[in-house]
Amino acid sequence: MDLNPLEMEFQDRAVRRGGVILFAAQDALELVKRAREERVRVLGIDGFFLTGDGGTQPSMRHSIDLSNTTHRDLDSWTAAESFLKENAHFNLYFEVVMA
């Protein structure tokens, strides 16, 4: 699995499930802040519930696509930070997709 430099920086905080790198909400927020500093665009965030048996359950309700025109009024980092803050209390883990 090839990690981008930011994922490598945060890999010790990640949970890996089925080839997907997932972060707790606070770690995902910090990753987005680093992406802003490095000018790496956030394309989307997908929320997952982790199950006790090592599985993952995606939650489309807790996902956001920042690659489309809907979010052009906000930069992708601000939209990503808002999304993560709004969804932090759901005990989800997040995949942060970056360009």
Domain ranges for the chain, please list them. 1-42
Cα–Cα distance for residue pair 81/96, rounded to 1 Å: 11
At 23-64, the pLDDT tens digits run 999 999 999 999 999 999 899 999 999 988 888 988 999 999
The overall pTM is greater than 0.85: yes
DSSP 38-96: HTPPEEEEEEEEEPTTS-EEEEEEEEEE-SSGGGTTS-HHHHHHHHHHHHGGG--EEEE
pLDDT of residue 52: 82
What pLDDT is attached to residue 78? 92
> Which pLDDT score is estimated for 1?
54
